[in-house]
Structure 1
Amino acid sequence: SQQHHDIRPMSNGNILCVVWDIRSVAEQTAAGRINATASVWSEQILELKPTGTATYDIVWQWKAWDHLAQDVAPGSANYTVVASHPELIDANYSPAASPVDWIHMNSIDYNAERDEIVVSSRSWSELWVIDHSTTTAQAASHTGGARGRGGDLLYRWGNPLASRRGTTPDRNFYVCHSATWIPAGMPGAGNIMVFNNGDRTGNANDWSQVVELAPPRDTSGGYVVPSTAAFGPTIPTWTVGSAGAFYGGPTQCGAFRTLSNTTLITLTSSDTLFEVDASGNTISTRTLTGSVARVPRYRLVNGLWIGP
């Protein structure tokens, strides 16, 4: 196992991180994965409590492998009708990316008010929301935690093909990065912002978009789970970017809301940082040095740098 791509420091001093979870051919076969001929990199999320300058304790853990569903191996415990369970991860969804790096999580963020984690998957072109209020044992199950769902996905958005609840025209993301909650006090607080790289076909059809979502919630604050359709909304709260406007390339990139209701957008492939207003008009542009993944804005408050 190896940590990769992103971490999220927490207010209690702990650190959430994305870590590969390597699974053998035998494990894949037992889980009902077809065409398993080599090890695959699944994903896990660890919460680390530092105990020294180079030591830590694992105080919480979530594994994608505990939440698989499949419909090809009746003898496996996770055999079910995949489309009936959007809270589970299709063991046989095969995105076009590397079959080894099967999920490829590339960002992680934490919402302390809701005690939830959001991650983005490059390979699946989705964001996933996971309950962090669970114990590690509950996170490996389908019950428990504040939402009563254990470690199952509370919400997902971006690519209904991955949950078998839509077709290609329903798809929103084509490679995505930098899924973050807009922090309290910011315009759009509580919504989720994602950079959709828009890596569609590798030609002139490629174009990027920044997307702000307000996930539909019920009266208890939980996410609305449609009976047969993909998770809502059908239309994002706010977007910027259209065909021919800008393209950040197939890797990295990010976007962050600011207090002044502007949005900072990083285009990694062109070393560009630009800022847009609420109407999508560019109000400033800066050339960056090197391959910069994303740029938030920090402000100095009582001698402390405060960021998103």
Structure 2
Amino acid sequence: MEEIDLALPGELYQGYLFWHQADELATDVVNYAMLLDTEGKVVHRWDTDLNGGGHTSYLLNAGGLLRTGIRDRRYVAGQPVAATDTLQITDKTGKAVWELSAEDLDFNGNKITFHHDLSPLPDGNILVLIYEEISPEAAAAAGWTAGEGKTVWSDGVLEIKPDLEKNSYEIVWYWRFVDHMIQDRDAGAANYGTVADHPRKIDGHFPSSYAPMNAVRQHLNAIDYHPGLDQIVVSSFIYNEIWVIDHGTTVEQAAGSTGGRRGRGGDLLFRYGNPATYERGSENDRLFQHQHDANWVDAGLPGAGNILVFNNNTGLGGVTGVSGGAAEAAAAQEQLKGNSNVQEISPAVDEGRYVVGEAGTFEAKRIWFWEHEDFFAPFQGGARRLPNGNTLLTDTVGRRVWEVAPDGGVVVRYKGPAPAFKAFKYAAEQVADLLE
């Protein structure tokens, strides 16, 4: 650790900091991970044979990692930001004990890459965000005018069941953006309609133009799972929204608008942050701007069941398209100025269904709001609740992690050796096997 500024020692959560190197724009980084003690000393390190930025890794109960990265850069060439080709489960040293290449997946006959985020499930399965490469013809058949390139990328979620003994896998569930569109441009397509009449579907043409890659129109950047609800929350960078979908569906139900535990199929159960995306609000109603790391506060923690959103609150500022490497990308990011915030919300629910209010928008109560004049994270970043009620915030670009008390006070500031997408803190008993 390069620097630690402990401002409120009596309020510090005494734990070990998990720090995984990643940077969305500087994709030539090595994605190793470290565990640091309260003095910033590295007490454990997981090395890697992968590279690639723009993602995080997760510490598993056995002391290994679930991570994604790039093995064959040729396979991800030309893909959207943060694309990777490899999933791994590792042992305590970082050595892979299970690995899956996206190139080996047969998914609707289309090429896919993994990207940005993934989530380990309680049963050992893995949820991972994907780009699905579909043809302009397939997009047009869905009424989707997505760009002039040779391919179009549709975001989605895969659930993969790994078999560590056989180093094999099974795709057990998936959700595809292209199955849940509404559009008002092509009257001949089956999903043609009035966007405002379908708040649970996604307008494939929002916003009307998104440079530089019109063929990428969702840019999901975070995923989290709620085991009690059996629901998934994702964050869409471009739509400036978070979306909740039902995991309690079959694959067939997830592709449709009916079925599953909530009867909505794979259509959105809840969306929040920017009602203009479904024409039930304006720019003045937007709450998020290029947010990351939407996640449910885990059971047993203060605020359990609420959703934390790390709101970067930034525009692109000319940084998009940086391709010169880590130094150039970092320099471009650091030119941006602004003020990020963290929002904790509690969606309005009535008899298990998310409430659409009289204004026609999904409702939620803001539980906690935090911002600081010296805290700005232009890209990536995360917010995670700690057992003592503090919240751990990550500024990827600034290589900073702040721990913040419930009253907003800054407890400690860490300055790390590398960018991190999301940092975590673990109690000593949770990582005891790694401290020997």
Contact 1:256 / 1:265 at 8 angstroms: preserved in 2? yes
Cα distance change on mapping 1:226 and 1:71 into 2, 3 Å = farther
**Amino acid paired to 2:161:** K
- 1:137 is aligned, of 252, 258, 261, to 252
Q: Provide structure 1 residue ranges, at least 5 long, that are not aligned to the other structure.
A: none
SS at structure 2 position matched to 1:145: coil
Contact 1:31 / 1:91 at 8 angstroms: preserved in 2? no
**Amino acid paired to 2:377:** G
Aligned residues: 301
Q: Distance in 1 between matches of 2:409 and 2:146?
A: 48
Contact 1:67 / 1:151 at 8 angstroms: preserved in 2? yes
Cα distance change on mapping 1:116 and 1:304 into 2, 3 Å = farther
Contact 1:84 / 1:228 at 8 angstroms: preserved in 2? no
The CA deviation at 1:227 is 5.6
Q: Distance in 2 between matches of 1:63 and 1:168?
A: 27
Tell me how large the CA RMSD over aligned residues is: 1.9
Provide, for residues 211-249 of structure 1, a one-character-per-residue CA deviation record: whole Å limited to 9, x for no partner: 10100000x12111236532122x52111015x342111
SS at structure 2 position matched to 1:206: coil
**Amino acid paired to 1:51:** D
| Alignment partner of 1:275 is 2:403 | yes
The aligned counterpart of 2:384 is: 256
Alignment of 1:203-222 (within 5 A): 206-218=338-350, 220-222=351-353
Q: Distance in 1 between matches of 2:229 and 2:287?
A: 25
The aligned counterpart of 1:247 is: 376
Contact 1:29 / 1:36 at 8 angstroms: preserved in 2? no
Contact 1:200 / 1:206 at 8 angstroms: preserved in 2? no
- 2:393 is aligned, of 237, 261, 265, to 265
Larger RCO of the pair (alpha carbons < 8 Å, separation 6+): 2
The CA deviation at 1:176 is 0.8
The CA deviation at 1:298 is 1.4
Contact 1:191 / 1:215 at 8 angstroms: preserved in 2? yes
Contact 2:146 / 2:214 at 8 angstroms: preserved in 1? no
Q: Distance in 2 between matches of 1:106 and 1:36?
A: 21
The aligned counterpart of 1:291 is: 419
Cα distance change on mapping 1:72 and 1:302 into 2, 3 Å = closer
Q: Distance in 1 between matches of 2:189 and 2:358?
A: 25
| Alignment partner of 1:48 is 2:160 | yes
Provide, for residues 231-286 of structure 1, a one-character-per-residue CA deviation record: whole Å limited to 9, x for no partner: 122x52111015x342111x210010111111111111111111111111101111
Cα distance change on mapping 1:137 and 1:201 into 2, 3 Å = closer
**Amino acid paired to 2:192:** Y
Contact 1:14 / 1:48 at 8 angstroms: preserved in 2? yes
- 2:141 is aligned, of 12, 23, 30, to 30
- 2:124 is aligned, of 9, 13, 20, to 13
| Alignment partner of 1:69 is 2:175 | no
The aligned counterpart of 2:40 is: none
Provide, for residues 77-123 of structure 1, a one-character-per-residue CA deviation record: whole Å limited to 9, x for no partner: 10111111111010111364532322111111100000000111112
Q: Distance in 2 between matches of 1:154 and 1:275?
A: 32
User: Which deviates more, 296-305 or 89-98?
Assistant: 296-305
Q: Distance in 2 between matches of 1:299 and 1:141?
A: 42
Q: Distance in 1 between matches of 2:338 and 2:271?
A: 23
Contact 1:24 / 1:40 at 8 angstroms: preserved in 2? yes
The CA deviation at 1:44 is 1.2
The CA deviation at 1:23 is 2.2
Provide, for residues 3-52 of structure 1, a one-character-per-residue CA deviation record: whole Å limited to 9, x for no partner: 11111111111101111112221122222223642222111111100124
User: TM-score scaled to structure 1, two decimals?
Assistant: 0.92
Q: Distance in 2 between matches of 1:225 and 1:264?
A: 31
Q: Distance in 1 between matches of 2:135 and 2:382?
A: 33
The aligned counterpart of 1:154 is: 269
| Alignment partner of 1:175 is 2:290 | yes
**Amino acid paired to 1:212:** E
SS at structure 1 position matched to 2:137: helix
The aligned counterpart of 1:79 is: 192
**Amino acid paired to 1:238:** W
The aligned counterpart of 1:188 is: 303
Give the percent of matched residue pairs that are identical in Structure 1 and Structure 2: 40
The aligned counterpart of 2:363 is: 232
SS at structure 2 position matched to 1:297: strand
Q: Distance in 2 between matches of 1:277 and 1:239?
A: 12
The CA deviation at 1:304 is 6.2
User: TM-score scaled to structure 2, two decimals?
Assistant: 0.66
Q: Distance in 1 between matches of 2:138 and 2:125?
A: 31
